[in-house]
Amino acid sequence: MDYQVIGQLIGSVGFPIAVSLIQLQTVLTKFNKQMEGLEQRIDKLNTSIDSLVEIIHHDPSSIKKVGSK
């Protein structure tokens, strides 16, 4: 955001609201980056789960029964 836009924003809505809008933009930008990172981690998790399901589907005997020794 350049100085001219900030000046116009302050002139049209007032200083406190302009500061609030700038802070909101910053928070939303950071939130968006975190959501993108979460999306990447979920994709990796889905890939891992798909691989495990494929392994289990092809060789069910590879699963150790719960409680068995």
pLDDT in tens, 47-68: 999 998 988 888 767 666 656 5
Within a domain: 68: no
Q: CA 3, CA 23: separation in Å to the nearest integer?
A: 15
**Confidence category of residue 36, pLDDT binned at 50, 70, 90:** very high
pLDDT at 58: 83
Within a domain: 9: yes
Within a domain: 39: yes
pLDDT higher than 90, residue 27: yes
Within a domain: 67: no
Q: Domain of 28?
A: 3-60
Within a domain: 65: no
Tokens of 60: 């069910």
Within a domain: 69: no
pTM of the model: 0.59
Number of domains in the chain: 1
Within a domain: 66: no
- One-letter amino acid of 67: G
Within a domain: 18: yes
